Amino acid sequence: MSTHRLVTVPLGERSYDIVVGDGALEHSAERLAALCPNGRAIVVTDKAALAHHGVRLHALIANAGLTLDLITLEGGEAAKTWDGLRTLTDQLLALGVERNECVMAFGGGTIGDLVGFAAAITKRGTGFVQIPTTLLAQVDSSVGGKTGINTRAGKNLAGAFHQPALVIADTGLLSTLPQRELRAGYAEILKAGLIADRALFERLESVGARGLSGNALIDAIADAVAFKARIVAEDEREGGRRALLNLGHTFGHAFEAEAEKGTLVHGEAVAVGMALAFAYSVRLGVCSEGDALRAQAAIAAAGLPVRPLDLPGGPYQADRLVTRMTSDKKNTGGQITLILARGIGEAYIAPKADRDDLTAFLKEELKRK
């Protein structure tokens, strides 16, 4: 028997539900039908998601009593560009999409980000639904309304806040996901506990690697998205507290930018980034060593890397990493803003990091075995 959990993102008239569970797709057929006033579903997916889950997708649309207009992209980050956006927008217009319809993003974070942005600008905004097929997208990018594409200057630098009307996080879709991708997505679940939910962290700590499957995973996803929903409700457009969701990302993005292309998975870089954020908090004297070690142990228990030396794609250099950190989106006035922690569940925004001290710290950490 499947279990489902429902989480609401409370944003007034733009509030929406996230359905989490094994079989959440079938469970949501009626909700989907209600979001398709013209009796058709416009679904954007990629070849890999279609190959893995096409049968379930077609059955879902049929069960919802809808006809299907399917747009299948090649997949990969190549679609998340100005060219990809223009092509998709033209395709949606050619299908005669209307504002009151919901375009469905069926795939990983790349598909969700691109489709969300296309929905935000087509006819000045159509509805959209997120059906994420990776753990990373289920716990992070599908929730909260950040949409966008990559530009020549960097990742996700053009985009819009555009909230979906519904998110369906079906854990059954994760059965075809490689273990490495699953673990990488789990890093974002641990992140939620580490930022501001000590009780969630302790639950994750107690289940260890068992949290990556079955009902424990459903609960972990639902708890993490409930946490994110609370932050998004407080600070939808990242004027303040939402920046906490970037714990581990300033360090992580720097490793991703420096890594040999195609070697590093985002969640692994974030996992090491979170361990570094705690280690740097200890160095600054704001966090106990005990909490930093607990954070590190929980990350490692999920099979994730915690030391820079564990990351593929190197060798990395401290000064180059710090230069990368200088171009992070959270920064102001050319100064590096870090997300640090006073303890587990007590992350805070730390502006104006000392570049020299950060470089010295990274030099040491890059050698740590």
Give the binding site for ligand GLY (CB under 6 A).
140, 144, 146, 242, 245
Q: How far is the CB of 245 from ligand GLY (least distance, A)?
A: 4
Residue nearest ligand GLY (C-beta atom): 245
Q: Return d(Cα 269, Cα 180) in angstroms, integer.
A: 12
Nearer to ligand GLY, 61 or 231 (CB): 231
User: Please, what is the minimum distance in Å from the beta carbon of residue 242 to ligand GLY?
Assistant: 5
Tokens of residue 132, six digits: 């994420």
Relative to beta strand 4-9, strand 16-21 is antiparallel
Cα separation values, 131 from 233, 297, 365, Å: 21, 32, 38
Q: Which residues on neighbouring strands pair with residue 6, listed in sequence order? A: 19
Whose Cβ is closer to ligand GLY: residue 53's or residue 228's? 228
Beta-carbon contacts of 276 under 8 Å, excluding residues fewer than 6 positions away, are 248, 251, 308, 362, 365
Q: How many helices (H) and strands (E) does the chain have?
A: 14, 11
State in angstroms the smallest separation of the CB of 144 from ligand GLY. 4
Contacts of 313 (CB under 8 A, 6+ apart): 255, 258, 259, 260, 263, 264
Nearer to ligand GLY, 92 or 245 (CB): 245
Measured from the CB atom, is 144 or 305 closer to ligand GLY? 144
Q: Are 247 and 241 in contact (CB under 8 A)?
A: no
- Cβ at position 114, least distance to ligand GLY in Å: 16
**Is residue 137 within 8 Å of residue 186, measured between CB atoms?**
no
Q: How far is the CB of 238 from ligand GLY (least distance, A)?
A: 6
Residue 202 neighbours by CB distance under 10 Å: 14
Amino acid at 22: D
Q: Are 325 and 358 in contact (CB under 8 A)?
A: yes
Catalytic residues: 124, 146, 188, 228, 238, 242, 246, 249, 253, 266
Distance CA 36, CA 64 (A): 10
Query: Which two tokens mark 84?
Result: 């990809």
CB nearer to ligand GLY: pick between 249 and 294: 249
The smaller minimum CB distance to ligand GLY, of residues 140 and 365, is found at 140
CB of 350 to ligand GLY, least distance (A): 17
Contact 27, 19 (CB under 8 A): yes
